[in-house]
Structure 1
Amino acid sequence: MNTQIQGPIPHLLLVEDDMTSQGFFQFALESLPATVDVADSFASALQRAESGHYDLWLIDVNLPDGDGPTLLQRLRVRHPRVSALAHTADASTETQQALQQAGFSETLVKPMTRETLLKAIRRTLAKSAVSSDIDDDAQVPHWDEAVALTALNGQQAHLRALRELFLSELPVARNAVAQALDQHDLVALRNQLHRLQASCGFVGALRLARAVRQLHNNPELPSARQQFDAAVKALMD
């Protein structure tokens, strides 16, 4: 299985005071690839975070001078967009729920396998990338006139007619996507999104096309659905 992360090499901060656990994490993370800094305490983690940018924090729940949730709260004051994974030997449901409420994306229970660790990191980094794209989405124009007119040999009348047809069918497509999401029917969802992606291309619906791609790639991500709904609403208003 390919465990490599595509795109720029991520910078990770591993917060772990146990030397054996540190060694496991470092050996496992060698295959990502990634740049990994290690902090062995609450205080050293804060110092590391002050001196560099990180794409992901891997935080031990119990530290010699503090606890993981409090550390995450402190880190998020200055770096609110960085995702975090918790790791702990406590497998109880109560602990995992508390860590989720504290803001951790996932909780890894020690001991874990290398594949479990790498999959969690890949999932979290992928979601962070999509969230970053969504944050920037407000800068994307609704319509791309140049692309649409090029496809239609510059015929403005044809483009207007196609857009009218597209907008008349958009509520039906939006409802079909919503139904597929609510029913967790990924096959129906991706069929609907595939058709909608093609239609967006014909009429130059740039922002909606981008939202469709995001939702297709991350149907479980609430922010991707919100961005899709917002892009549809903007065109229909």
Structure 2
Amino acid sequence: MNSAPGTMPSILLVEDDRISATFLSAALATLPARVHVAEDCAQALAASGPFDAWLIDANLPDGSGTWLLQHLRETDAAASALAHTADATVAKRDALLRAGFADVLIKPLSAQALVDALRAALRGGSDEPHDAADWDDRAALTALAGNPEHVASVRQLFLSELPTTRSACLAAFDRSDHAALRAQLHRLQASCGFAGATALAAIASRWHAAPADRDLRAAFAAACARLLAPAS
């Protein structure tokens, strides 16, 4: 976080729709947090930071959320970045995660879901409770046309392949092969989207952006272990 310990976090909300901006800013204020609202890329880039988190609309009047994130990163490498969009397709989610967003929030969303996502982002995701958003049934059902049987079969396949993927990622990290690690994580993010493995997808996205980060390696291993643990 950019804020000093014990101080209220500062969040940049980028949203051009005034009704959505009013709802989102009111929900974020309950964290509690200081919320600065920008209507487009130009206002966001002119905003006085630093911020602890950016919540960026994927589509803005003067550019894309991806473009804006790239430019914000030029002056701040520490802020958490979340995208929000009404496009619930797996392709859109995958593109935003590849661009460096830690999570993608689908509108409309509840105030509680927004607050939970921001709290996780502000913690960095590594110390989330073990039952926090490991599986996102809504996302999986959306990706698979609302068919719960398909979700169950895809998750079974996902879990059968996860040990191999985990081993490949950890081995690539150990030999400092960042290209191989990123390739594995890229494929994993798409699989996570279909299975609804939300927490692991977010960690994989952050690790893809920082493949040498040992804390993210540990978070990745822990998230995999949680998913693979036998149901109690």
TM-score by length of 1: 0.52
The answer (yes or no) to whether the contact 1:57–1:82 under 8 Å persists in 2 is yes
* Bigger share in helix: 1
Does 2:110 match 1:113?
Answer: yes
Provide the C-alpha distance between the structure 1 equivalents of 2:216 and 2:73, rounded to a whole number of angstroms. 25
Q: Displacement, 1:82?
A: 1.4
Tell me which amino acid in the other structure corresponds to 1:72.
L
The aligned residue for residue 25 of structure 1 is 24
2:37 aligned residue? 38
Structure 1: stretches of 5+ with no match in the other structure: 1-5, 131-181, 184-217, 229-237
Cα distance in 1 for partners of 2:57, 2:98 equals 16
Of structures 1 and 2, the one scoring higher in RCO (CA 8 A, sep 6+) is: 2
Report the aligned-residue RMSD: 2.8
Kindly provide the amino acid, as one letter, of the partner of residue 25 in structure 2: Q
Rounded to whole Å, the distance in 2 between the matches of 1:111 and 1:226 is: 32
Report the residue type matching 1:9 in the other structure.
Answer: M
1: distance between equivalents of 2:56 and 2:119?
A: 16
Match of 1:82 in 2: 79
Instruction: Please report how far the alpha carbon of residue 126 of structure 1 lies from its aligned counterpart in structure 2 after TM superposition.
Output: 0.6
Q: CA deviation at 1:8?
A: 2.7
Distance 1:43 1:129, change over 3 A: farther
- Residues 225 and 28 (structure 1), Cα distance of their counterparts in 2 relative to 1, 3 Å cut: closer
SS at structure 2 position matched to 1:78: coil
> Which is higher, the Rg of structure 1 or of structure 2?
1
List runs of 5+ in structure 2 lacking aligned partners: 128-162, 165-198, 208-213, 220-232
**Equivalent residue letter for 2:71:** R
What is the DSSP-based 3-state SS (H/G/I as helix, E as strand, rest coil) of the residue aligned with 1:38?
A: strand
Say whether the 8 Å CA contact 2:80–2:121 is kept in structure 1: yes
State the shift of 1:128 in Å. Answer: 6.8
CA distance in 1, matches of 2:49, 2:77: 14
State the SS of the aligned residue for 1:100.
Answer: helix
Q: Structure 1 vs Structure 2: percent identity of aligned residues?
A: 44
Q: Conserved in 2, the CA contact under 8 Å of 1:83 and 1:128?
A: no
Report the TM-score, using the length of structure 2 for normalisation.
Answer: 0.53
Q: Secondary structure at the match of 1:8?
A: coil
- Match for 1:122 among 108, 119, 122? 119
Q: Give the Cα separation in 2 of the matches to 1:73 and 1:10.
A: 22
Deviations 1:106-161 (A, max 9, x none): 0001100111101110111111797xxxxxxxxxxxxxxxxxxxxxxxxxxxxxxx
Contact 2:10 2:53 in 1 (8 A): yes
Report how many residues are paired. 137
Match of 1:160 in 2: none
Q: Does the aligned pair in 1 maintain the 2:126–2:216 contact within 8 Å?
A: no
Within-5 A mapping of 1:53-64: 53-64=50-61
What are the equivalent positions in structure 2 for 1:63-212 lying under 5 Å apart? 63-127=60-124
Aligned counterparts of 1:15 and 1:79: Cα–Cα separation in 2: 16
